[in-house]
Amino acid sequence: MYCNKCGAPIEDGNKFCPKCGNKVFNDEENKESIDDTTEVYDDAFKKAVNNKDEINLEKKDDVEKKVSNKKKPIKNNNSKNNINKNFAEGNEYKAPARKKKSEIFVVIAVAVIIAIIAGAIVFRNNIKCAYYKNKYNKELDLNAKVDYAEKAFISLKNSSTKNMIKDSLSLLGEKDADSAEKKLDLIKDKLAMNEYRELTCSIKSGKINTLCENSKYEEALGEFEEMANLGEDIRKDKNYDDIMLNICADITGNSVEGSKNLLLEEDNVYYDNLDSNSNFDHIIEVKNNDSYSGYTVKVNLYAYKAGKYEHVDTKTFNKSYDGEFKGIYTCDKVDNQEKKAAYVYYSGNSSNSYCDAIAVIGVKDNKLVTIANVMGNEEVNCDDFNNDGIYEVFSKSTNDSGWFKVSWNGGAPKKIADENGGKAGSSSSTGKGSQTINVKTSDYIFSYSNTSYLSDYDLQDLDKNTLALARNEIFARHGYVFSEEPFVTYFKNKTWYNPNPNFKGDDSELNQYEIANYKKILEWEQK
């Protein structure tokens, strides 16, 4: 049984609610109440019938309503009948809602406690950090100094504590790099990636200092490799030039006398990055050789491999008796990126006569490739003609004198100005049977196809029409008389072309470079 006032459960037999003290009625008492009411109703009705004039009773329906109201107990949502109904329908019994003011007070109290705890933690961490900073400043032992810096950093992460770790690890790295790296490895999980990278490079920089002091340059290169793998620009390291100069000296057998220019300019050795695929510079060496077969100029390429520099390629200029490394310069700009190349001067005898030339050499897949040759019979040199950061080649020749621009993708150097600095000559177009190709009247597609072997790199970007012109250019040099377009018109407009009816174009009339090159070009045409 349940209280009809507060809803609290009541044991059978209890007349009052143990919680609120309300008097309750059981079923028997309710029945007695109803019976008593019935008797009252019958007596009143009899009197109304027998004494109509004496008593002014209400209508029977009204009396019944009053009696009915008297019979029914006061309705309450928490009455026994309602509770039983809720259970029967599967509804969960819900106690009366508590006052919400108490809940608000609880929330406020919890928030205040949390704030106090947080403030206490911050205060505690600041005190700890200050304590470890003081220990750090007084400590002389480097290992202990690193430990205090680490504890200060864990207590309070900020730029000050991070610099403490960086400085102490760098100092330790100069004395004992292995210990410094081990200590850094223990705390790397507590660092962001950029923080770990910065500290690692700092330690390795100190380690490289020590290696260079002990002339261990190849070991220093190994440390550079790890730094490069982390995304560090190793060329900005203060020891990079010193390491490269000593590596160059070791390769050439020369001594380092403290001057970059002395070693590189006098001994024809340069280092620079000639492709964008390596973190390390290439080393290029020019050597003049005298052999039984005649004078040659050799260009040697060295690249970083497996912790050291190795010789990877050689390009030879035969029948040349003098060679000089002019330097490494920007030769072109592609997509706002500078493309560099080595400029090598050489002189000697071509198939027909004395020549003076500048070979522009690039690197692709650790191979030397000739981007272009600019030849002359009096003077050939290189300079930044129009001060745009790109080097041009000046050629003084009886056939064509002026300034030539070399493009990274190869092909014929383009004349941009005549000898006195004026505008270059007008261009002409090929006739029917091919696409229109605008070229300078003095241009070669390959000015060196009679003195050097063409590579796949030289030919890969040329369309079939240009390949056909390049192949016939080899024969046009000797004055071959063409009967078909576009070759008639194209070579007629070349200032160097002199028709020679006696030249038939047989292999016996060509040198080894010309034979090999026209066959190679033909292979590309047929692809």
Q: Which of 155-164, 346-355, 411-420 has the highest mean pLDDT?
A: 411-420
**Which pLDDT band holds residue 439 (cuts at 50, 70, 90)?**
very low
Q: Bigger pLDDT: 8 or 62?
A: 8
d(CA 292, CA 300): 20
**Which pLDDT band holds residue 431 (cuts at 50, 70, 90)?**
very low
Mean pLDDT of 49-53: 48
d(CA 379, CA 382): 10
pLDDT above 70 (res 122): no
Say what the pLDDT of residue 518 is: 92
From the number of C-beta atoms within 10 Å of its C-beta (0-12, 13-18, 19+), residue 243 rates as buried
CA 377 vs CA 354, 374, 446, 475: distances in Å: 7, 11, 17, 21
Q: Please report how many Cα atoms fall inside a 13 Å half-sphere around the Cα of residue 69, on the Cβ side.
A: 5
Question: 479-483: long-range contacts (C-beta < 8 A, 24 or more apart)?
Answer: 479/503, 480/505
Tell me how far apart the terminal alpha carbons of the chain are, to the nearest angstrom. Answer: 103
357-390 confidence digits (pLDDT tens)? 899 999 988 899 999 888 888 788 888 887 788 8
Say what the pLDDT of residue 463 is: 84
> CA-CA-CA-CA torsion for 486, 487, 490, 496, nearest 10 degrees?
180
3, 22 Cβ separation under 8 angstroms: yes
Say what the pLDDT of residue 75 is: 47
d(CA 503, CA 493): 19
Instruction: Name the residue type at position 9.
Output: P
Say what the pLDDT of residue 80 is: 46
d(CA 267, CA 285): 8
**Which pLDDT band holds residue 337 (cuts at 50, 70, 90)?**
confident
78-116 confidence digits (pLDDT tens)? 444 544 444 444 444 444 555 555 667 666 766 767 766
What's the DSSP call for residue 501? Answer: T
Mean pLDDT of 303-318: 88
Structure tokens at 13: 């037999």
From the number of C-beta atoms within 10 Å of its C-beta (0-12, 13-18, 19+), residue 318 rates as middle
Say what the pLDDT of residue 50 is: 52
Mean pLDDT of 52-67: 47
**Which pLDDT band holds residue 312 (cuts at 50, 70, 90)?**
very high
Q: Which of 64-73, 287-296, 415-424, 458-467 has the highest mean pLDDT?
A: 458-467
Report the chain's mean pLDDT, rounded to a whole number: 75
Q: Which of 241, 234, 227 is nearest to 270 (CA)?
A: 241
pLDDT above 90 (res 314): yes
Mean pLDDT of 29-40: 45
Say what the pLDDT of residue 112 is: 66
483-513 confidence digits (pLDDT tens)? 888 888 888 888 788 889 899 888 889 998 8
What's the DSSP call for residue 287? Answer: E
Say what the pLDDT of residue 26 is: 56
pLDDT above 80 (res 12): no
Helix residue spans in 230-350 (DSSP H): 240-252, 260-266
Instruction: Name the residue type at position 333.
Output: K
Q: How far is CA 351 from the centre of its chain?
A: 50
CB within 8 Å of 187: residues ≥ 6 apart: 150, 153, 165
pLDDT above 70 (res 258): no
* Percent residues over pLDDT 70 in the chain: 71
Say what the pLDDT of residue 367 is: 92
Q: Which of 380, 391, 513 is nearest to 458 (CA)?
A: 513
Max alpha carbon distance in the chain (Å)? 165
Q: What is the pTM of this model?
A: 0.53
Mean pLDDT of 164-179: 76
199-222 confidence digits (pLDDT tens)? 888 888 888 888 888 989 988 998
Say what the pLDDT of residue 121 is: 61
pLDDT above 60 (res 283): yes
Say what the pLDDT of residue 368 is: 92
Say what the pLDDT of residue 427 is: 32
Q: Bigger pLDDT: 521 or 20?
A: 521
Say what the pLDDT of residue 261 is: 65
Say what the pLDDT of residue 480 is: 93
pLDDT above 80 (res 311): yes
83, 93 Cβ separation under 8 angstroms: yes
Q: Please report how many Cα atoms fall inside a 13 Å half-sphere around the Cα of residue 320, on the Cβ side.
A: 25
